[in-house]
Every structure is written in structure tokens, then in C-alpha cells.
């Protein structure tokens, strides 16, 4: 099984970090992983996306045109990736910012008001983590407990106080997707 | 040692430190900057030399000086910066001091862009600067391989007293993958008879690339060419995938090879007997192996992230033995496997 | 063989090799080489000295100094010397270059070596012309001065103004010792010798970047006899490039013998 995941949003929405969470979790579960960012001159505010592949086999191309799953955090990302989704793919969109919904019947599209959910937890910037929780609930790409462990290891000292909130965000995202 | 998730640029930097890197001189340029930043953090606390130079021109000449002094030394840059370094590289090649350079290739010509390409193939493998010389050029396709080749690059540079270039594209520099980095090692510091250390109790030594008498310079060139022949004999590296029963072959290096491998597997699933040949040493290019391959299969497809540079070496190796097609993406656009599959199908006809 | 009761009062410095140089008759490179050689002997540092000379008339300097030596690319001696010095901080590293090299193609390298306070010593021989290539206009060519590439005389409107490197580099906080001297007569040659010694002492005391700009002649490319060139040096060059101490950092004042 090979999961080919694209996470995309405005710079600052945490698309790259969300992808790294998945990659670290994949590694922790002994799978093959790659994480590759789009890198631009914009340090802040531009678009940012990454491709994460988690596979039981050695990974060839680290880049995919047609993902099996995508988390889109803003409208331009929805417009770009919705048509590219593989048949049977999972498209999670941040409905707090994205009004459009998918008309495709061959994918599973799930709009989730991730900003609101994160805000209810008191951490508006955790919409990315909420949607990672949703992705895990739907696709079984990695286990939720593995992500907890990854968060323990990789949330920086500066954001240590947000560790529990991150874990809650994962679970809220998972719950709403189920 | 455990496998950890490493960003390519940082894995290369850490691997160089573990290989015994004593001095680094560089200049910021995307997409290799994390490499310089990593060493800027680590080297001072390890009491090793790190300088952010005023230009790539200065950086490579600092490298030249430190190498002339006998240190394990490295620089890193990306395509436009490597263009600026060509003068120094020519002097280094002529003076026969060991130097490692990392090129995280980006889009060109000109300022181009910062997206990944393989368009420095000519610049790196064909000499780059003036005069007759070729650096050893090693092209990793994974973060693990980037770390391993960097580690080994120092040994090769010292073995042949030459330039070794690790040629990766922006993807490999920016990508994170699990890798197990080589173990740190102590370098055996002994006088090798050529480095400048001060003429304490011995005859003075000179590091120069100037030989005014054509006959003298001819002799230097003869020696350099002899060394190059040795390198061509000893240091060819490549990897083959699914080629045993192949009727067709794709040839690609670095990121393009990974993309091609996925397409090759898809083609196999469709019943096409195709394999992949991946040169790891771009210089010395595996001419002999490609020549053998060209007698074995019916057609070749070369895939690169440039306009067809390695293609010329493939043609040199294969002569006119078989049809050779090419698929390239330029300007920092990266091919996807679904771009390559139709090219394989076209080759099969 | 010396007769009894006779003393050696003049000999080839140990730091120089006993070969005929390629420099033109009347050229002061030979004088400057000798001064550096004498000072290296006097300080007893021949075995710990590494020289670097880039392209220009000084490109063959490695043949003349009996020390380890590196030949650098045009303009890049300060960068190469930086690399050498950083990996051999206990060695004495000096560069020796002309005006075309230091003040044109190597401007960035010299300024940044000074800015870093690189602990090297620079001997900058300014004779206002590209000598090796046959007398073209240099960054330090005087206004109105005729060269093969300014055949009507240097027109500053057209060809820009000469660079005053000692004055420029004296602005750098990283520089510890920046002086200009000349070698047009024995008195000034002695002054130059003292400056060379002071500059090397600055380095030996880990006190940072030192540079001696030495006004020099080029009889061949100036189209003059040796004597005429000395007069030109004295009467034209020195007034335009005033001799003096441009930066003596407080930390190095005690090292300098007047």
C-alpha cells in the first residue's frame, strides 16, 4: 500500500509541518517515507505545499501528480488539487476558508471547518493538525497514537505548552471525520 | 545507528562533518542554503573553520587555500554559484589539491529560478573551467545516498588529489527521507609530502598551476590525464533495476531516475519488459556498461531534468546500435511518472 | 672564503632563493623582495612562513622566496591566504601583489579580508600600471598618465578615478595596520623595511589584518630609465598617493618601533 498525500495552503497555515508529522509517524511505524516541500522565495504568506509518501515498499518518485489523499487549507489549493485527485482518493478541505465543494462522485470529499474546531480548542493555528487527525481516521495511513509520540518528540520547546492541545486537535479532527 | 528523518541538505552537511570536514567556505544560495546554515551552527562549536565568504569566487579560493594547506575542505553552492566557482576549480584541478564541492542544482540559464533541475550536467562533468580536466561527479538519488557519497567523496578527493562534486538537484537538497548516517571518524593527520605547512626542517614546497614552458605544462597535463584514466577504470558507479530480462531500458540519474523507476514499474505491470539504468558516477560515465546494454535491449529512453545533456554521453556509448529517445523537463519543472510512462510506451511502439 | 678579521655586512637573505629574477632592470620588486626576505630572517620565521602571490609581475614570486608558497588566481590571494591561515593559524601567511590584482579584479577579496580582520599580512606593490601584460591602465594609474590602454592619457571623465586603497582600507574596523610607503630612495626604503617588519609583527601577535602599500616604479612600461622612473615616483606618485600611517589600531601601537 502506498499513500501519496499532498498538503497545501498559505504559508503559515502549517502545511509543511503537517506533512512532517505524517512522515515522522510513517518512519516510526517502520514504513518507507518521503517528504518533499515546494520551496519558494517567500518566507511567509506565499503558498506552501508538500508531498508525503508513506509506503510499504521502497519509494520511487517522491513526487506525484495525482495524490491518493490531499489536505487543502485554502481556496487556491482546493482549485488546484480537487481535479487531480486519484479515483477513490480522499480530499479533506478546510471549509472554514473554502466555500467550494467537490462535484466529483469518484472521490471522497470531506469539508471540515477546521479553523472553528481549532478555535474552540483555543488554538486557531492548529487547523492543520485537526485535518491530519481527520486524514488518519479515514485512511489509516498511520496510527493516532504514533502521531502523539511524534508530537512529543517534535513539538519545539517554544510550543511545548501546546502539546496537549495538539493531541486534542488530532482527536477532534478524527472524531468529526468518522 | 538508527534511521532518522533527514533533510537532504542537512544530511550532506552532517555526513561531511562525520567524514572529518575541517574547513568549510560558502555563500548562501537557494536551494542549498540549509547546508551552509547547518555547518554555521555546528562547526564553530566543534572548533572547525567555517566562513561565509563575500562571494562564491572568494569561497572557492578560500577552499583552494585550505586544501593547499592540507585540510579536509568543502564548499557547497547551487548552479549560478557553481558557475562563479569555475575559475577556482580549474586552478584546484591543475594544482592537484583535494576538494569536495556540493552542487544542489537549480534552474538556468541565467538567474533562472530556484526549482530543481539537472542542467549543470555539462558544467560539472565536462570540466567547467578552462583547460583539460574532469572532476569526479557523483549523483545521488536519495538522501541516504547523498550522505554516503558525500562521506566517500573526501576519500576519493584525497586518493586522487582531485575535485569530487556531489551533484544533487534541489529536490534531494530539500527532501526529507529516512537515512542512517555514516559514523564519525578521526582523520589520520600525517604529512603527505605536498601540503603547505611551513618549511620546518625540510625543503620548501610550492602549490602552483603555472608552467610557462609548454613542454612542462604538457607533462602536467599528461599526468592529469593519466590520473583521469585511472579514475575512469576504478570509479565507475551505477545501479541497475529490472534489467535482467529487459527488452527496453530507461537511463536516468538523480531524481529523474526515481521518477523513471516508478514509471518503469507501471510499465512492467502492463507487461512491458523494461528496466532502468542509473549512472551514479556522471564522471566517469559508465560508457562500457551502457555500450553493453545497448547491444542487449531494443531501444533506450533517456530521461533528464534538462534539455538532453547526459543524452550525449549515452549516444557516445551506444553509438548507433539502437534507437535512443529522450524525454526532458526544463526550467525547474519536474517530470511525474505519468509523464514518463507514455514515453516508455512510445519507445516500445 | 673570508679573510681573517672580516665580517659579513651584506648577503643574500636566507629567506630568498639564490636565483636570477625575471624582473626588469631598474624595477623595485627586487628591492621589496629583499626587504621582506631580510625581515623574515630577522624575525626568524622563514620555516613558519607561507607566501601567496597571484597573477601579475609577482606571479613568479614563489621562485624567489625560500618559504612554502602558493600561487593564487588573479585577485584571489587574500581569499586563498584566508583559507591557508585559518587551517594553519600558527603559521605566518603573507600575500604579495600588484595594483591591478589588488585594486581591480581582487577588490572584493581584499576589502572582505580586511573586514574580517583576517590575521594575514599584505604587501601591495602599487606602480600604477599593469606590468605583466605590457603596460595597460591600472586602477591606480594617475590622471593624465599614458598607458597602452589609455593612449591619450587617463581621462577621469571617461575612465574613472584612481583608487586610494590604503585610505579605503583604513576605514575598516577589522584592519589593524594600514600604511603607505615608497622605495624611491634609501631613506624611504628604510621606512618601508620598518613597515614590513611592523606588519609581520602585527600578525605574529595575532593582532589582525596588516597591509603595507608600497609605491613602486615600472621603468619598462612607464617608458623611462631607472633614474627617471625614481624621479617620477618621487615627484608624481608620492604627491598623489601620500605616504603615511592610515590606520594603526590601538592594540598594535606598542609593536611599532619608530
Boundaries of every domain in chain C: 29-249
Q: H or E segment at B248?
A: strand B248-251
Pair B133, B249 in one domain: no
pLDDT at A110 over 60: yes
Q: Take residue B28 and report the three cell numbers written for it.
A: 548562501
Q: Tell me, what's the pLDDT at C66?
A: 97
Of residues C46, C84, C116, nearest to B69 (C-beta): C84
Of residues B149 and A38, more confidently modeled: B149
- Is the domain of B273 the same as that of B155? no
Q: Do B198 and C76 touch (CB under 8 A)?
A: no
Between chains, do A39 and B31 touch, taking CB under 8 Å as contact?
yes
How far apart, in Å, are the Cα atoms of A55 and each of A15, A30, A62, A66, B234?
Answer: 20, 10, 11, 16, 36
The answer to whether the CB of C32 falls within 8 A of the CB of C58 is: no
Structural domain boundaries enclosing B301: 238-348
- What Rg value do the Cα atoms of chain B yield, rounded? 20
Cα A36 from Cα A14, distance rounded (Å): 14
Confidence band for B2, pLDDT divided at 50, 70 and 90 = confident
* pLDDT surpassing 90 at residue B16: yes
Of B190, C42, C59, B92, the closest CA to residue C51 belongs to: C59
Q: Could you tell me if B161 and B18 lie in one domain?
A: yes
Residue C41 has pLDDT above 70, yes or no: yes
Residue A41 has pLDDT above 80, yes or no: no
- CATH code for the domain of B324: 3.40.50.920
Facing A36 at nearest CB: one of B3, B175, B178: B175
Look at residue C52 and tell me whether its pLDDT is greater than 90: yes
Which residues of B have a CB under 8 Å from any CB of A? Answer: 3-5, 30-31, 114, 170-171, 174-178, 255, 258-259, 261-263, 265, 334, 336-339
Interface test with B, best of A19, A20, A55, A61 (most B CBs within 10 A): A61
Question: What average pLDDT does range B241-252 have in this prediction?
Answer: 98
From start to end of chain A, where are the E strands? 2-10, 32-37, 47-55, 69-72, 90-94, 108-112
Has residue B1 got a pLDDT over 60? no
Q: How far apart are CA B153 and CA A94, in angstroms?
A: 47
Q: What is the pLDDT of residue C18?
A: 95
Query: Tens of pLDDT along C113-142?
Result: 999 999 999 999 999 999 999 999 999 999
CATH 3.10.270.10 fits C29-249, yes or no: no
Tell me the CB-side half-sphere exposure of residue B72, using CA atoms within 13 A: 23
Written in H, E and C, the secondary structure of B154-182 is HHHHHHHCCEEEEEEEHHHHHCEEEECCC
What is the torsion angle, in degrees rounded to the nearest 10, for the CA atoms of residue C138, residue C140, residue C146 and residue C149? 20
pTM metric for this prediction: 0.95
Query: Do residues B244 and B150 both lie within one domain?
Result: no
Looking up cell 567547467 gives B128
The SS3 of residue A92 is: strand
Q: How many domains does chain A have?
A: 1
- Proportion of chain B above pLDDT 70, given as a percent: 100
Query: Residue by residue, what is the 3-state secondary structure of chain C?
Result: CCCCCCCCCCCCCCCECCCCCCCCCCCCHHHHHHHHHHHHHHHCCHHHEEEEECCCHHHHHHHCECCEEEECCCCCHHHHHHHHHHHCCCCEEEEEEEHHHHHHHCHHHHHHHHHCCCCCEEEEEECCEECCCCCEECCCCCCCCCECCECCCCCHHHHCCCCCHHHHHCCCCCEEEEEEEECCCHHHHHHHHHHHHHHHHHHHCCCCEEEEEEECCCHHHHCCCHHHHHHHHHHHHHHHCCCEEEEECHHHHHHCCC
Please check whether residues B196 and B247 belong to one and the same domain. Answer: no
What is the arithmetic mean of pLDDT over A15-20?
Answer: 95
Collapsing DSSP to helix, strand or coil, A47 comes out as strand
Q: Same structural domain for residues B288 and B334?
A: yes
pLDDT in tens, B83-105: 999 999 999 999 999 999 999 99
Please determine, for residue B188, whether its predicted confidence score (pLDDT) is greater than 90.
no
Cβ–Cβ under 8 Å, residues C200 and C142: no
A91: CATH = 3.40.920.10
Does position B268 have pLDDT exceeding 60, yes or no? yes
- What would you report as the CA-atom Rg of chain A, rounded to the nearest whole angstrom? 15
Domains held by chain B: number: 2
Average pLDDT, chain C: 96
Three cell numbers, residue B97:
589539491
Asked if pLDDT for residue A152 goes beyond 60, the answer is: yes
Instruction: Using CB atoms, pick whichever of A24, A61, A63 lies closest to residue B5.
Output: A24
Place A45 in a pLDDT band, splitting at 50, 70 and 90: low
Mean pLDDT confidence for C62-82: 97
Q: Given B195, B212, B234, which residue is the final one in a domain?
A: B234
- In 3D, which of C207, C186, C4 has the Cα closest to residue C92? C207
- Tell me, what's the pLDDT at A107? 98
Backbone angles phi, psi at A21, to 5 degrees: -55, -45
Contact assignment for C84 to B68 by CB distance below 8 Å = yes
Q: How many CB atoms lie within 10 A of CB B69?
A: 28
Cα–Cα–Cα angle for B253, B256, B257, rounded to 5 degrees = 55
Query: Of the residues B234, B251, B284, which one is the last residue of a structural domain?
Result: B234
Of B215, B234, B253, the last residue of a domain is B234
**Same domain as B206, residue B256:** no
**Separation of alpha carbons B41 and B56, rounded Å:** 20
Q: Please state whether the peptide bond connecting residue B31 to the residue before it is cis, i.e. omega within 30 degrees of 0.
A: yes
Q: Chain C partners of B196 at a C-beta cutoff of 8 Å? A: 50, 68-70, 84, 88
The mean predicted confidence, pLDDT, of chain B is: 97
Check if B54 contacts C (Cβ < 8 Å). yes
- Confidence class of residue A40 from pLDDT cuts 50, 70 and 90? low
Confidence band for C1, pLDDT divided at 50, 70 and 90: low
Q: Which has the closest alpha carbon to C181: C146, C210, C151, C222?
A: C210
Amino acid at each position: 500500500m502506498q499513500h501519496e498525500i499532498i498538503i497545501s495552503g498559505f504559508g503559515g497555515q502549517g502545511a509543511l509541518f503537517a506533512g512532517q508529522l505524517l512522515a515522522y509517524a510513517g518512519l516510526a511505524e517502520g514504513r518507507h517515507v518521503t517528504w518533499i516541500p515546494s520551496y519558494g522565495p517567500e518566507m511567509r504568506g506565499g503558498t506552501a505545499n508538500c508531498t508525503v509518501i508513506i509506503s510499504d515498499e521502497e519509494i520511487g518518485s517522491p513526487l506525484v501528480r495525482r495524490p491518493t489523499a490531499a489536505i487543502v487549507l485554502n481556496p487556491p489549493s482546493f482549485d488546484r488539487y480537487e481535479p487531480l485527485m486519484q479515483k477513490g482518493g480522499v480530499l479533506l478541505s478546510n471549509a472554514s476558508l473554502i466555500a467550494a465543494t467537490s462535484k466529483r462522485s469518484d472521490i471522497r470529499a470531506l469539508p471540515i471547518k477546521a479553523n472553528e474546531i481549532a478555535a474552540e480548542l483555543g488554538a486557531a493555528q492548529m487547523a492543520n493538525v485537526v485535518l491530519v487527525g481527520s486524514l488518519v481516521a479515514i485512511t489509516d495511513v498511520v496510527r493516532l497514537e504514533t502521531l502523539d509520540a511524534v508530537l512529543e518528540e517534535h513539538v519545539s520547546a517554544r510550543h511545548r505548552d501546546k502539546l496537549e492541545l495538539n493531541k486534542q486537535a488530532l482527536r477532534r479532527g478524527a472524531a468529526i471525520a468518522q | 545507528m538508527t534511521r532518522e528523518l533527514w533533510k537532504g541538505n542537512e544530511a550532506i552537511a552532517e555526513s561531511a562533518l562525520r567524514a572529518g570536514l575541517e574547513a568549510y567556505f560558502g555563500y548562501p544560495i537557494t536551494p542549498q542554503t540549509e547546508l551552509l546554515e547547518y555547518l554555521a551552527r555546528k562547526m564553530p562549536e566543534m572548533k572547525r573553520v567555517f566562513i561565509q565568504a563575500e562571494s562564491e569566487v572568494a569561497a572557492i579560493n578560500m577552499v583552494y587555500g585550505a586544501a593547499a594547506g592540507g585540510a579536509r575542505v568543502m564548499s557547497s553552492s547551487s548552479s549560478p554559484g557553481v558557475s562563479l566557482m569555475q575559475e577556482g576549480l580549474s586552478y584546484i584541478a591543475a594544482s592537484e589539491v583535494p576538494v569536495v564541492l556540493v552542487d544542489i542544482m537549480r534552474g538556468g540559464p541565467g538567474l533562472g529560478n530556484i526549482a530543481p533541475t539537472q542542467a549543470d550536467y555539462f558544467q560539472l562533468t565536462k570540466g567547467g573551467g578552462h583547460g583539460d580536466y574532469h572532476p569526479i561527479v557523483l549523483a545521488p538519488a536519495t538522501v541516504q545516498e547523498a550522505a554516503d557519497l558525500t562521506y566517500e567523496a573526501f576519500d576519493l578527493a584525497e586518493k586522487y588529489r582531485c575535485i569530487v562534486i556531489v551533484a544533487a538537484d534541489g529536490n534531494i537538497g530539500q527532501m526529507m527521507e529516512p537515512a542512517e548516517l555514516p559514523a564519525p571518524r578521526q582523520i589520520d593527520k600525517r604529512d603527505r609530502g605536498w601540503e603547505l605547512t611551513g618549511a620546518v626542517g625540510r625543503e620548501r614546497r610550492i602549490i602552483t598551476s603555472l608552467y610557462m614552458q609548454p613542454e612542462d605544462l604538457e607533462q602536467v597535463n599528461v599526468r592529469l590525464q593519466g590520473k583521469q584514466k585511472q579514475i575512469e577504470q576504478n570509479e565507475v558507479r551505477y545501479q541497475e533495476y529490472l534489467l535482467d530480462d529487459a527488452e527496453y531500458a530507461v537511463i536516468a540519474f538523480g531524481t529523474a531516475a526515481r521518477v523513471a523507476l516508478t514509471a518503469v514499474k507501471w510499465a512492467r505491470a502492463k507487461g512491458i519488459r523494461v528496466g532502468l539504468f542509473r549512472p551514479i558516477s556522471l564522471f566517469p560515465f559508465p560508457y562500457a556498461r551502457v555500450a553493453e546494454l545497448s547491444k542487449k535491449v531494443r531501444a533506450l529512453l533517456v530521461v533528464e531534468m534538462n534539455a538532453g545533456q547526459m543524452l550525449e554521453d549515452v549516444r557516445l556509448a551506444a553509438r548507433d546500435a539502437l534507437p535512443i529517445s529522450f524525454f526532458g523537463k526544463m526550467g525547474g519543472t519536474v517530470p511525474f511518472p505519468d509523464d514518463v510512462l507514455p514515453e516508455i510506451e512510445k519507445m516500445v511502439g | 672564503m673570508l679573510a681573517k678579521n672580516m665580517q659579513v655586512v651584506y648577503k643574500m637573505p636566507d629567506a630568498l632563493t639564490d636565483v636570477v629574477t625575471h624582473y626588469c632592470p631598474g624595477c623595485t620588486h627586487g628591492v621589496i623582495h629583499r626587504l621582506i626576505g631580510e625581515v623574515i630572517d630577522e624575525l626568524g620565521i622563514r620555516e613558519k612562513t607561507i607566501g601567496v602571490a597571484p597573477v601579475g609581475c609577482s606571479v613568479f614570486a614563489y621562485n624567489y622566496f625560500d618559504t612554502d608558497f602558493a600561487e593564487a588566481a588573479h585577485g584571489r590571494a587574500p581569499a586563498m591566504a584566508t583559507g591557508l591561515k585559518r587551517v594553519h593559524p600558527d603559521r605566518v601567511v603573507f600575500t604579495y601583489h600588484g595594483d591591478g590584482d589588488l585594486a581591480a579584479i581582487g577588490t572584493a577579496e581584499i576589502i572582505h579580508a580586511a573586514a574580517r580582520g583576517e590575521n594575514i599580512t599584505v604587501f601591495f606593490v602599487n606602480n600604477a600600471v599593469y606590468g605583466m601584460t605590457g603596460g595597460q591602465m591600472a586602477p591606480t594609474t594617475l590622471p593624465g598618465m599614458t598607458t597602452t590602454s589609455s593612449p591619450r592619457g587617463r581621462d577621469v571623465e571617461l575612465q574613472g578615478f584612481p583608487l586610494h586603497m590604503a585610505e579605503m582600507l583604513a576605514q575598516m574596523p577589522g584592519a589593524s595596520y594600514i600604511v603607505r610607503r615608497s622605495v624611491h630612495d634609501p631613506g624611504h626604503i628604510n621606512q618601508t623595511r620598518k613597515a614590513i617588519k611592523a606588519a609581520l609583527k602585527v600578525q605574529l601577535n595575532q593582532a589582525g589584518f596588516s597591509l603595507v602599500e608600497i609605491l613602486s616604479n615600472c621603468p619598462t612600461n612607464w617608458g623611462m630609465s631607472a633614474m627617471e622612473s625614481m624621479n617620477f615616483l618621487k615627484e608624481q606618485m608620492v604627491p598623489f598617493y601620500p605616504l603615511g600611517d592610515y590606520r594603526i589600531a590601538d592594540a598594535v601601537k606598542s609593536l611599532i618601533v619608530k
